[in-house]
Amino acid sequence: MKAAAAPLDPRRPAARRTRTILTPEGLALRFTLASRGVRAGALVIDLLAQMLLLIGLQLVLSAIARDLFGQKLALTRANQAMELLYILYVIASFVLINGWFLFFELGPRGATPGKRLVGIRVAARDGGRLSAEKVLARNLVRDIEFVAPIALFALLLPGGAWVASLAALGWVLIFPCLPLWNRDRLRAGDIIGGTWVVEAPRRRLGTLLSAAPRADAPTSAGYRFGEAELAIYGEYELQTLERVLRDGQGEAMAAVAAAICGKIGWHPPGSEEVRGFLTDYYTQLRARLEAGMRLGTRKLDKFSAAALGDYTELP
């Protein structure tokens, strides 16, 4: 078993971005906030991906339009076809621009392609599960933060309404710069949604933790858990347990092992057996949840009953 993590040196940049929070289960988890530069890089990647998709859509619709004109349709029918293509483009653009962040951050990884490439993700500031309400709140504010003031500034500038233009420009500058003015690097959407953006390092767990042939099979330390003992927890607890194993903090692992034993009616393992106990429980719990998903059954957390027909692959 690994020893408890050493205290972080507050003089180091990474230490200044480290936060320790208490989860609803009473566990102390350590997160490292994503740096401002990395967040900006992820945003640029996402915007470039959106731009490329929009360009591809334009090319496809342009090819369709050329084909329609090549058929020498009547002018009225050609105009109707062009109007339909324009409406399709507007709808597709709206869905892409407004749904990009919602779709990916509502996924099990809590990260857009840009965030995944740079190794960061969205997390709840209270240590709980990243709910749909939090993701919706942080993204619906995006239009107020960026789109509305930029559009207003673009409209007012040619007209010479310099006072309104300066107000719109100030709006544009204040909201994007908000992460520079608070220690947790929160934008307005994060403040309202109760989220922050943290580093998501690659997993260091071996293949033993990622798959198991049967939910009742003993693994590294030889612990075997029954159906009733595994049925207590769901996906959220599995992900929390994975973070605890990945971080390897001795005190946190011992607290988690004691909490699990309290739920299933076991005596807590000795200090030298804590990691093996948690590894076995993680492996068998994950195997059980994945087996249920293949049958169309999903258990979100310890508070929810298993739901049918709701499949989402665990990260």
Is it the case that residue 308 has pLDDT exceeding 80? no
Bridge partners, residue 198, by sequence: 33, 121
Lowest mean pLDDT among 156-160, 164-168, 189-193, 210-214: 210-214
Q: Per-residue confidence at 265, pLDDT binned at 50, 70, 90?
A: confident
Rank 151-155, 252-256, 307-311 by mean pLDDT and report only the highest: 252-256
pLDDT (tens digit, 9 = 90+) per residue, 10-40? 445 556 778 877 665 556 667 888 888 898 8
Lowest mean pLDDT among 30-34, 95-99, 200-204: 200-204
Q: Per-residue confidence at 141, pLDDT binned at 50, 70, 90?
A: confident
Residue 223 phi, psi dihedral angles, 5° rounding: -80, 140
Is it the case that residue 311 has pLDDT exceeding 50? no
Comparing 29 with 41, which gets the higher pLDDT?
41
Non-local (6+) Cβ contacts of 305 within 8 A are 299
Which pLDDT does position 313 carry in this prediction? 34
Is it the case that residue 48 has pLDDT exceeding 90? yes
For residue 171, how many other CB atoms are within 10 A of its CB? 18
Which pLDDT does position 53 carry in this prediction? 93
Element (H, E) at 28: strand 28-32
Which pLDDT does position 147 carry in this prediction? 63
What is the mean predicted confidence (pLDDT) over 155-162?
57
**Following DSSP, what letter does each residue of 74-130 receive, concatenated?**
-HHHHHHHHHHHHHHHHHHHHHHHHHHHHHHHTSTT---HHHHHHTEEEEETTSS--
What is the mean predicted confidence (pLDDT) over 45-69?
86
Please give the model's pTM, rounded to 2 decimal places.
0.60
The per-residue pLDDT of the chain, averaged, comes to: 75
Element (H, E) at 134: helix 132-142
CB 185 within 8 A of CB 34: yes
b/e burial code for range 4-41 (CB count within 10 A of at least 16 → b)? eeeeeeeeeeeeebeeebebeeebebebbbbbeebbeb
pLDDT (tens digit, 9 = 90+) per residue, 101-123? 989 988 877 889 999 999 898 98
Is it the case that residue 74 has pLDDT exceeding 90? no
Task: Give the amino acid at 290.
Answer: E
Percent of the chain, pLDDT > 90? 7
Percent of the chain, pLDDT > 70? 68
Task: Give the amino acid at 6.
Answer: A
CB 281 within 8 A of CB 273: no
Rank 1-5, 111-115, 122-126 by mean pLDDT and report only the highest: 111-115
Is it the case that residue 100 has pLDDT exceeding 70? yes
Burial class (CB in 10 A: 0-12, 13-18, 19+), 72: exposed
What is the mean predicted confidence (pLDDT) over 244-266?
84
Q: Per-residue confidence at 245, pLDDT binned at 50, 70, 90?
A: confident
**Helix, strand or coil for residue 263?**
helix
Which pLDDT does position 52 carry in this prediction? 94
Which pLDDT does position 244 carry in this prediction? 83
